[in-house]
Structure 1
Amino acid sequence: MFTVPAAAAQAVIAYSGLEIAEPLAGRGGRSGSVGRGGRAICSLAFVRYADGDLGPYHEFAVAFLVRPPGTPPPSGRGGRLRAMRDVGAFIHWLPVNQEFTLECGRSIWGFPKELADIPMDLAGRVKRCAVRFGGRTAVEVAVRPGAPMPGGAGAPKVDAYSCLDGVTRRTPWTLTPSDVRMRPGGAKVVLGDHPVAEELRALGLDRARALSSTTVGHLSMTFDPAEEVRP
């Protein structure tokens, strides 16, 4: 997880009609707008799916925390912290390395999946992943696991949002994580020349220190049907 300029993050996801969540607000923001100098949350994630309805595959994600549609901007520090309990995750980019999950993800849930080569090295102390197209690297991420977290740590339920072909959707997820480790910092990002890499570079992710890094040894997930929403 990284903190990034809220105004720049809002520009990245403007096509969805959703509003960036802004846990650290800046000054001069108008009602219904992203405040100047505010900070948003951008997450990079990679997952090795081992057993599920869509078969085994690798996946990489670029996501931003967003306010639920129709929710007004919170006011004051306390209001912002309370509002963070209801935020969702907008999935901006979701490359995968298998055709079946590509087709299902796009047609069933409206996730912005595209086919890529996604090598992972999860055997060592440092967990590594890359996304490549035709041998050219778009992004590389390396994560150093942190301290063990108590059982049940994590976010058991979350609303995932996506926008494909001009339609914005919400998909409720239920998550059951185990062997969770977390630390401040702990991630290194290297960006290539893919358009999404250019967006991440403009957000400063190639030079920023991660807010936190989390590794999950085992994760079970249930995806509910997607629902169209009107931001």
Structure 2
Amino acid sequence: MASHLIQGRTVSMPVRVRDAAVCSVLYTVRADAARAVIAYSGLEIAEVFPGKAVCALAFVDYRDGDLDAYHEFGVAFLVQPPGRAGATGLGELRHAGAFIHWLPVDQGFTLEAGRTIWGFPKELAGIDLRLGSPFKRCIVRRDGRLVLDLLLKPGLPVPGPPTLTGLDAYTHQDGVTRKVPWAVRARGVRARLGGALIRLGNHPIAKELSELGLPRHALLTSTVDHAQMVFGEGRVL
């Protein structure tokens, strides 16, 4: 079994998350702007509508897992797997992976583990999660500056038993792009069209999101009360 030594602790693969709450929102953004943002990765944006890409914002309360308890916020883009460049349309959603562009966390151990094991772009930030009310809110600050304030209104329950869903994540660090196998089992899922309100601050990431066209009407909002996750060993592309 593969393992990694992080801050004197052995982290065995795969890494497991036993319980987490996840809130996410999808936005359609200009494909050319998204393409410019992730050009450094060498990956191609999944153009699900003509001239449109999908940007995902997510905040997660990791309650129990191999990398301890912590809060996380993520900015990701749906991308085409290598070899499918040029394909367009909604059908590409079933092939798309998630390129993780920015991934602040609030704890040092998960930061080092994420960067070392998978090349996730983790950095320390202040992440204020407010999940105890009907509205779910996340406020992210970095270097003393507001990045964003995101408020989600949960939708209707999504029926069906929890199933293990696989999704490939992609990362890029120090000139190396990796593909990371990632699987999620979710319980207590709610979803709705729209349902998000975002306020951007004056941080460079906020400026980047503004140049993508945010704030704007959300495409889809989802919340998960209890998620389990498995992260496998990354593979260099």
Superposed CA deviations along residues 124-160 of structure 1, whole A, max 9, x for unmatched, are: 0100011112442111111000000012478811000
Which residue type is aligned with residue 70 of structure 2?
Y
Unmatched tracts of structure 2, length 5 or more: 1-25
SS at match of 2:81: coil
Please state how far the C-alpha of 1:172 moved relative to its aligned partner.
0.7
Which residue type is aligned with residue 147 of structure 1?
L
SS at match of 1:101: helix
9-18 vs 153-162, which moves further: 153-162
Which residue type is aligned with residue 185 of structure 1?
G
Residue aligning to 2:221: 213
Partner of residue 56 from structure 1, selected from 60, 69, 72? 69
Residue aligning to 1:11: 36
Any runs of at least 4 consecutive aligned residues in structure 1 with deviations exceeding 3 A, and if so which?
152-155
Residue aligning to 2:13: none
Unmatched tracts of structure 1, length 5 or more: 26-37
Partner of residue 181 from structure 1, selected from 190, 195, 200? 190
Residue aligning to 1:101: 110
Partner of residue 101 from structure 2, selected from 89, 92, 106? 92
Counting aligned pairs with the same residue, the percent is 54
Q: For the Cα contact (< 8 Å) 1:141–1:190, is it kept in 2?
A: yes
User: 1:161 and 2:167 equivalent?
Assistant: no
Q: Distance in 2 between matches of 1:72 and 1:128?
A: 36
Q: Distance in 1 between matches of 2:110 and 2:103?
A: 11
Please state how far the C-alpha of 1:166 moved relative to its aligned partner.
1.1
Superposed CA deviations along residues 54-104 of structure 1, whole A, max 9, x for unmatched, are: 0000000000000001213226xxxx2332211000000000000000000
User: 1:82 and 2:111 equivalent?
Assistant: no
SS at match of 1:119: strand
Q: For the Cα contact (< 8 Å) 2:125–2:142, is it kept in 1?
A: yes
SS at match of 1:59: strand
Please state how far the C-alpha of 1:223 moved relative to its aligned partner.
0.1
User: 1:136 and 2:161 equivalent?
Assistant: no
Q: Distance in 2 between matches of 1:46 and 1:158?
A: 17
Which residue type is aligned with residue 227 of structure 1?
R
Which residue type is aligned with residue 211 of structure 1?
L
SS at match of 2:45: coil
Residue aligning to 1:47: 60
TM-score using structure 2 length: 0.86
SS at match of 1:225: coil
Q: CA RMSD in A?
A: 1.4
Which fold has the larger relative contact order, with Cα–Cα distance below 8 Å and residues 6 or more apart in sequence?
A: 2
User: 1:150 and 2:159 equivalent?
Assistant: yes
SS at match of 1:118: strand
Provide the aligned length of Structure 1 versus Structure 2.
212
TM-score using structure 1 length: 0.89
Q: Distance in 1 between matches of 2:27 and 2:162?
A: 20
Please state how far the C-alpha of 1:108 moved relative to its aligned partner.
0.3
SS at match of 2:65: coil
Partner of residue 234 from structure 2, selected from 223, 226, 231? 226
